[in-house]
Structure 1
């Protein structure tokens, strides 16, 4: 029995008629989900930084940990922000990107949200949680607004250096991160 593939399996693209070799995600949904997490994180950060009220950041970092755990384990389509992003992008043509670089980026988000959840719920206050939160907000802003997935870029750099094996199932990366790896950047 084959394991369930990670990401969406697209049988054929309308433009080229060819199928992707592995799972993909809709970049539009990914960016909307990043925008939603950015909004929640920014509100929590504002409460912590300006009013010194840390309960929102404790709740949001715990929510983000669950969100990223679901994204890494099952895919964006099953996470709370992923479901909402699918509703918000309904009716738009998908812009497919390979799932593996996104999974790597979300794994980074999982580690950062876990650290933030531990730090904030342990009662640590001040510049440490605010600094980490600010870095996370910048990363979410880059993804949501500019379409720049820094985790995907790191994944591509690790692949180019040979630290992650070449994978023929990685066919299209956001912002051309697969360029220079002999990959065609196919989008529908």
Structure 2
């Protein structure tokens, strides 16, 4: 096996190749930040220069992740720098590769539509929203939607899922949400939604 072209690391004590979920989450956060900034700028100004730059970077980054080696992807290198003092959280590499392949496919479509042909189509908006949801879910909640899809598709039971969700276990007391907490969350969302609606229509 080439020492540079492979996916996932071999770590003692793990039967499958693994990646550091903390590093992946940090990389997702960095990409989400630049994605939302470039997309909002394009929305307000109809100037897609920064969006084109970001989409190109996003595509190259995911190309390196999926087809070369994740440890050479720029966003993951920067993410590794910021989380290098934290204990690694190992997850299976197979589901991550599937998830990142989805990101690569979406980025190629966006690169063609935005950078190459500059086509004005609602498809761009839908793909942007999908990418933002995937990135935000990963960085904010530690939920890898692509990994969940991978686990649904494959026939054998998955191992080393992000957050340990593959393991069959009961929630601990600190993980449970009681009726009072649910009420607080629902009331907060309702008030914020109502105020946002009024502010939007007051413009």
Provide TM-score, normalisation by structure 2: 0.76
Partner-residue secondary structure (3-state), 1:25: strand
Q: CA deviation at 1:64?
A: 0.8
> Which of 141, 147, 151 pairs up with 1:152?
147
Q: Is the 8 A contact 1:45 1:130 kept in 2?
A: no
Q: Which has the higher helix share?
A: 2
Q: Which one is further off, 108-117 or 118-127? A: 118-127
Equivalent residue number for residue 17 of structure 2: 23
Flag the structure with more relative contact order, 1 or 2, with Cα contacts below 8 A and sequence separation at least 6. Answer: 1
**1:64 aligns with one of 45, 58, 63:** 58
Q: How far apart, CA to CA, are the structure 2 residues paired with 1:43 and 1:126?
A: 20
1:14 alignment counterpart: none
Deviation digits for residues 72-93 of structure 1 (CA, Å, limit 9, x no counterpart) = 0233211000110110111110
Give unpaired runs (5+ residues) of structure 1.
12-18, 181-188
Check the 8 A contact 2:58/2:107 in 1, yes or no: yes
- Structure 2: distance between partners of 1:131 and 1:171: 32
Matches within 5 A, 1:3-82: 5-11=6-12, 19-82=13-76
Structure 2: which 5+ runs fail to align?
A: 169-203
Contact 1:28 1:89 in 2 (8 A): yes
Max radius of gyration: which structure? 2
Q: TM-score, normalised by structure 1?
A: 0.81
Residue in structure 2 matching 1:85, options 63, 79, 85:
79
How far apart are residue 171 of structure 1 and its match? 2.8
> What count of residue pairs does the alignment treat as equivalent?
165
C-alpha separation between the residues in 2 aligned to 1:90 and 1:136? 26
Moved more, 69-78 or 26-35: 69-78
Measured in 1, the distance between the counterparts of 2:2 and 2:75 equals 25
Query: Matched residues in 2 for 1:101 and 1:39: separation?
Result: 24
- The two structures, once aligned, show a CA RMSD in angstroms of 1.7
